[in-house]
Chains A and B, each alone.
Chain A
C-alpha cells in the first residue's frame, strides 16, 4: 500500500539511457504534453492530468504490462496497447477514454473482482486499495460471474513474518511484490508459482515468509496494490489519517520516511518516495523496527541516587538537573576545570551534538568533549582531511550508478547499509565489476545475480599492506593517471610517495606473505580498479577500527588519486557510516580538538568568532578523547561526565577498564531513552527522547542534512536539546533556544560549509548536502570537482606496520567483529523489537578446520578468551571465515564481545582496534546469564510493535 499522500505516476522517471535529454511532445486526450524520450505513455498521461487506470504498474518499478487495464488507443495504429509499456513518441495522438476502452477495462476488472470481494468495507486497506479504486474508476458495479465458482478465498494467510501478513485470498497476482523484491531490493526471495488459475505468489521454495530468503525490507508490502500484503500494525490499528516526513534513526544511509499516524499513534513507517538517500526503499530496521520507541522499558521520569550502589529514586526534572549541576560544580571546584567532560552519540541530532560540545566548551570551560565516532570513523576524519582537505565522503549515494568498478573493503553493505546496498546491487546486476576485500565472505561475494570478480580474503589487520600492493601494481605497470596527478596533486608529496610505493616491500608478492592473498589476485584487482574507467571505493569499520586505521584511509586516498578516481560521479572514496549521524556529530564540533567545520581550537581568529557568539573564553588546547577520559578517571584527574545517547560500558573496548573508569568518577550523568549498561555507573539519569519525539537534523554518509521531525510528544516531557539547555541553565550558562531551527541558524553563522543551511531551505529542498553556502546554495553532491578542498591532493606515505596484537600458541586465532541486518550496534533499540526473531543471540563463526581441531560442534558453547578477558558464545561452523579467523556480532550485552577486545587503537585517532583480537576458542560448560532465544523473542516487544 502506497504512503498516505503518494501520487503514483505509473512508471519510473526517465533521466538517462538512450536519447538522454531529448524531449518529445505528444497529444493525450487533446492535451499537449512534453516528456523525456523513453517516458511511458502512462506516465506522460499522468503528468498531463489524464491518469490511466492501472494495477500492475507503479512508478517504483519498470513496467510489466500484465494487468491489461491501462489500454489506450493511438491514432493510426491498430489495437489497444498497454500504456505502461508504450513509450511516448513525438506526434502521437492518444485517447485514454473511449467506449471500447471502457468496455475492455470493465471486463478485465470484472474478472479480477470475481475472485476478490467487491465490498470495500471488507478490504483491510481501508480506502487505499487500488483494486477497489480501479473498480470505481472503470465503473464496475457488479460481477456477472456466478458465485460458487473456483476462487482463492480459502487459501490460508501467512502471518509468519513478525511485521506483515500475506493473504493469498486477497492477491491478484500482479507481480508487483515479486518485481519489487527483484528490482528494488535485489533479494529475489519471491516468485509466482503455477500457471493460469493456479498462479500464486510464494516466498522462497513455497515456504513461509519467515523461512524464506526474505529480508523483510517491506518493498513487497509497499508495492502491493491490495490488502494481500499488509502491515500488522495497520491491521491492528486501522489506516493512518496523516503523515509526517522524517529521517530514520538507524544507520548512516539516513533514509527518509513518512511516519503515518492515526491520531497521535504511529501506525507505520513508510519510505519516502521523494527521499534522495533511499528513493522510497527501506530495510527491516527503519521500516518496521520502530517499536522500541514505545517500549515499556522506556524511562519516563528523571532519576538520581547518591552512590551507584543505591537504588534509583524518581524525581522531577528540576531536582535532577539541579543535583546534576551542583555535583558538576562541586567536582570542578575540587579537581579543577579539566575534571569534567561530555560524550555524545551519533544517534544525537546535529543540534543536540552541537549543544553538548557548546556546554562543555562554554559551561565546563574545557574541550573535553568527544563523540562515539571516536570508536568508529575517526580515522576517516583524519585521513580524508589530510589527503583531500575535508573529512567526508566524496560522493552522493547515487554516484554508484555510474561506477564501472566497485571496490568494497571492510564493509558489509547488505547487512550494515542495506538500502544503499540495494542501489549498489542494481548497478552490479547491470554490469559493474566488483572487488571485495574482507576477512570474511560477505554476502556480496556471491548472491543472486551478483558475484565478485575478485574476493581478496585478507588476514585481519593487513589492509594497509593490501592497499600498498594495489598501488604498487598501478604505478609499476604504468596504470597511473599521470595527467590527473600533474594537474590536481602536490608534486613533491607524490614524488616521495612514488619512490616509496615502488619499493619491493610493497609488491604483491611481499603482500601475499602478510595478507594471505595470492599475488596474482592482487595484480588482477589492481588492474581492474585502475582501468575503471570509473572506479569507486566503499569502506566501513573493517578499515578504520585498526591500529593502522588512519593509514589505511590515507592509502585509499592515494589509490583514488593515483588513478584519477575523484571529482566526478561514479568514483571517489566513500565511507559507509555506521550510525545515522556519525557525519553530522563530527561536523558540528564534537571532537575535542575541533570546533564546527573541523577547525582546530588553537586558531585564535576562529576562537574569537565563537567567543563573540557564546560570550565566553574558549580553551585553546585540545581536550581529552574518550579513551583518554577513562585513563584520566583512573588517575583521579577526570571525575565527572555527561553522556548523551552513548552506551560506552557496552560499546567501548576492554569493558573492565571502562567500568573501572566510570566507577571512579564522582558524578556520572546518563541521558538516554533506556537504562543502558553505562547507567549502572550513573548518579543521575535523564530520560531521553527517541527520533520520533523531537525536531532536529541528521547528516548521513553522503553529507546530506535531512530533517528529523517530531511525530509524537516526548514520553518524558522534554526533547533532548531542551534537556541539555536546562542543564546548562542550571550550571549558570544560559541556553535559551525556542526551537532547534535557532540552533541550526547558530551553526550556520559559525560554519562556512553550513552557511547556507536553514530549516526553511530544508523544508524547500527536502535535504541538503554540505558544503552549502554562496558558492553552492543548494548543496554539493560530488566534492573536489575542480580542485581539492585543500588545493592540491596530498599523497601520504602508508608504511605497513603490523599490529601489536599478535597470535601466539596461547591465543592462536584472530577474532574480528561485524553486524547483522536485523540488529543495530549494541542492540539497545533492535533488541526491543520483533527483529530478535532473526537474531536472538550473538554467535561465534568458526571455520570447520578450527572447530574440528578443538572438538567443537555446531551449536556448542565455546569460551572465547583473549589477553583482556573471556566470554562464552555458541559456535556456528562455517567456511565464510578462513582458517585461523573467528567472527562474532556484538548486539547483545550478555555476549560481552568487548570484554575480550583490547585497548590497542589507531595511532592517529585512538579509534579502538575492534577488528583484531588474538583469542583461543575452546568448548566450555560455562553459560552466560541470558534468556533462551524464545524468551528473548517474547520479551523483546510486549506491545507487539
Chain B
C-alpha cells in the first residue's frame, strides 16, 4: 500500500471527527472508523508508520492510530 495514500485518507477521516468538541470522543471515533472500515493490512501499515511519523499525520489521527495498536483495541 502506498503509505502517503493511507496517511491522506486517515487525515481526511480525522478532518471530519476533529470537529467534535470532546477530544476523547473524537479520538475514539477516528479509531473506531479505522477499525470498522479498514482492512487489517491497511491498519497495520498505518500503525507501523505512525510509530515513526514525523508530522505527516494530524496529531489527533496519530493518537487514534496508536490507540489501534494497543492490544485491547486490536481485536
Contacts and interface: CB of A to CB of B under 8 A. Distances in A.
A656 interface: no
A623 B21 contact: no
B2 A368 contact: no
Interface in A308-361: 338
Contacts of B15: 799, 801, 907
Query: How big is chain B's contact interface, by range?
Result: 20 to 34
A631 B16 contact: no
Contacts of A908: 13, 16, 33, 37
Contacts of A624: 39, 42
Contacts of A903: 5
A551 B17 CA distance: 11
Contacts of B8: 804
B36 A602 contact: yes
Interface string B1-16: 1100100110011011
A500 B16 CA distance: 13
B36 A907 contact: no
A621 B18 CA distance: 25
A909 B9 CA distance: 10
A634 B3 CA distance: 12
A288 to B, nearest CB: 41
A910 B8 CA distance: 11
A473 to B, nearest CB: 20
Contacts of A905: 9
A907 B21 contact: no
A367 B38 CA distance: 11
Interface residues of A, number: 34
Interface in A575-623: 592-593, 600, 602, 621-623
A368 B19 CA distance: 31
Interface string A772-806: 00000000000000000000000001010100100
Interface string B26-60: 00000001011111111000000000000000000
By CB atoms of chain B within 10 A, which of A547, A632, A907 has the most? Answer: A907
B16 A551 contact: yes
A816 B8 CA distance: 23
A632 B41 contact: yes
A907 B39 contact: no
Given A551-B16, A910-B9, A628 B36 contact: no
A86 interface: no
Contacts of A907: 9, 12-13, 15-16
B12 to A, nearest CB: 4
A22 interface: no
A830 to B, nearest CB: 34
A330 to B, nearest CB: 21
Contact of A797 (B13, B19, B39): B19
A763 B1 CA distance: 48
A797 B40 CA distance: 28
B73 interface: no
A628 B39 contact: yes
Contact of B1 (A621, A625, A632, A909): A632
Contacts of B35: 602
Given A801-B16, A907-B15, A623 B9 contact: no
Contact of A635 (B1, B9, B33, B40): B1
A500 B13 CA distance: 19
Contacts of A23: none
Nearest to B14: A907
B2 A799 contact: no
Contacts of B16: 550-551, 799, 801, 907-908
Nearest to B8: A804
Interface string A903-939: 1010111100000000000000000000000000000
A635 B39 contact: no
Interface in A874-924: 903, 905, 907-910
A447 interface: no
Contacts of B13: 907-908
Nearest to A550: B16
A621 B20 CA distance: 27
A5 B33 CA distance: 53
Given A799-B19, A908-B13, A631 B5 contact: yes
Interface string A473-504: 00000000000000000000000100110000
B19 A622 contact: no
Contact of B41 (A338, A804, A910): A338
Nearest to B20: A797
B37 A622 contact: yes
Contacts of B41: 338, 632, 637
B16 to A, nearest CB: 5
A592 B39 contact: yes
B39 A496 contact: no
Contact of B21 (A496, A635, A909, A910): A496
Contacts of A621: 39-40
Nearest to A499: B21
B12 A622 contact: no
By CB atoms of chain B within 10 A, which of A602, A628, A632, A634 has the most? Answer: A628
B55 to A, nearest CB: 18
By CB atoms of chain A within 10 A, which of B1, B16, B21 has the most? Answer: B16
Interface string A622-645: 111100100110110100000000
A449 to B, nearest CB: 42
Nearest to A601: B36
Nearest to B12: A907
A909 B39 CA distance: 13
A628 B1 CA distance: 8
Nearest to A632: B1
B36 A631 contact: no
Contacts of A592: 39
B71 to A, nearest CB: 16
A167 to B, nearest CB: 59
Nearest to A591: B37
B3 to A, nearest CB: 10
A496 B26 CA distance: 13
Contacts of B37: 593, 622, 625, 908-909
A910 B33 CA distance: 13
By CB atoms of chain A within 10 A, which of B1, B13, B20 has the most? Answer: B1
A158 to B, nearest CB: 55
A622 B38 contact: yes
Given A622-B39, A801-B15, A631 B1 contact: yes
Given A799-B19, A910-B9, A623 B39 contact: yes
A500 B36 contact: no
A507 to B, nearest CB: 17
A368 B42 CA distance: 13
B1 to A, nearest CB: 5
A551 B16 CA distance: 8
B47 to A, nearest CB: 14
A658 to B, nearest CB: 14
A367 B37 CA distance: 11
Nearest to B45: A635
A910 B21 CA distance: 25
Contacts of B5: 631, 903
Contacts of A368: 39
A621 B68 CA distance: 14
B14 to A, nearest CB: 9
Interface string A404-423: 00000000000000000000
Interface string A544-555: 000100110000
24 contacts: A338-B39, A368-B39, A551-B16, A593-B36, A593-B37, A600-B36, A602-B35, A622-B39, A625-B37, A628-B1, A628-B39, A631-B2, A631-B5, A632-B1, A632-B41, A637-B1, A801-B12, A801-B15, A804-B8, A905-B9, A907-B9, A908-B33, A909-B37, A910-B9
List of 7 A-B pairs having minimum Cβ-Cβ separation, nearest first: A907-B12, A799-B19, A797-B19, A624-B39, A621-B40, A631-B1, A801-B15
Given A628-B1, A799-B19, A907-B9, 6 more contacts: A592-B39, A593-B36, A637-B1, A905-B9, A907-B13, A909-B37
